[in-house]
Amino acid sequence: MSPATVFQIHLVMGYVPWLLCFGAYVWPKLKAMDQVEAQRAIATLHSFRFFGLVFLVPGVVGPNLPAGFATFAGYGDLATGVLAIMALVTVNIRPLFWLFVVAFNLVGAADIIIDYYHGNAVGLAALAGELGATYAIPIIYVPVLMITHVAAFYLLARGQVRAARTLPSWSNAR
């Protein structure tokens, strides 16, 4: 089996155990939590995304890792991590907290989607060995990040629906 095939199998299979774990253990707890606490838990996980800068460290990654992929992935992760940290720091200033929650989820989800696109465009699967020590990031860490972005967006949307239901209707407000 070629290294490119192994890498692509790893990419897809990385989602399976995380979805099973998330569905059985994490999602029921997140849905039952207060909206702020659920988003804080997700932000805490994403606050470690500063680690993505490791894509830019020679010796950790191979010399032939495409710079366009490494640079965007590294700085996209850093931006997401900083925004997640800002959400955690501003939890007591709710308007700022919610702004940072939305921002880190938008930036983080876009980063992952664009990284998948860039990785495909530069033929990253065939160069997977150039990921070096960072090989585990797209296989093990990225799936749970993407899953939690989807969960965060769902929780944000659910919160908006609940808020809309509690507003007085125009017909009752006379």
Whether 173 is in a domain gets the answer no
pLDDT of 46 reads 98
pLDDT of 148 reads 98
Structurally, how many domains does the chain consist of? 1
pLDDT of 159 reads 75
pLDDT of 163 reads 60
Whether 155 is in a domain gets the answer yes
Q: CA-CA distance, 105 to 174, in Å (whole number)? A: 39
- Give me the residues paired with residue 58 across strands: 61
Enumerate the H helices of 33-66 as residue ranges.
35-46
Whether 59 is in a domain gets the answer no
Whether 56 is in a domain gets the answer no
Residue with tokens 């290294």, as numbered in its chain: 3
Helices 94-121 and 35-46: angle between axes, nearest 10 degrees: 40
Domain that holds residue 118: 3-50+64-161
Nearest residue to 91 via CA among 35, 26, 150, 160: 35
Whether 166 is in a domain gets the answer no
Whether 170 is in a domain gets the answer no
Residue 30 buriedness (CB in 10 A; 0-12 / 13-18 / 19+): buried
The helix, strand and coil proportions of the chain, stated in percent and rounded to the nearest 5, come to 85, 0, 15
Sign of CA dihedral 45, 84, 50, 55: positive
Q: CA-CA distance, 150 to 68, in Å (whole number)? A: 26
Q: Which residue stretches of the chain have pLDDT < 50? A: 174
- This prediction has a pTM of 0.89
Q: Hey, what are 29's tokens?
A: 């707890």
Whether 108 is in a domain gets the answer yes
pLDDT of 174 reads 47
Q: Hey, what are 56's tokens?
A: 């830019």
Whether 169 is in a domain gets the answer no
pLDDT of 169 reads 58
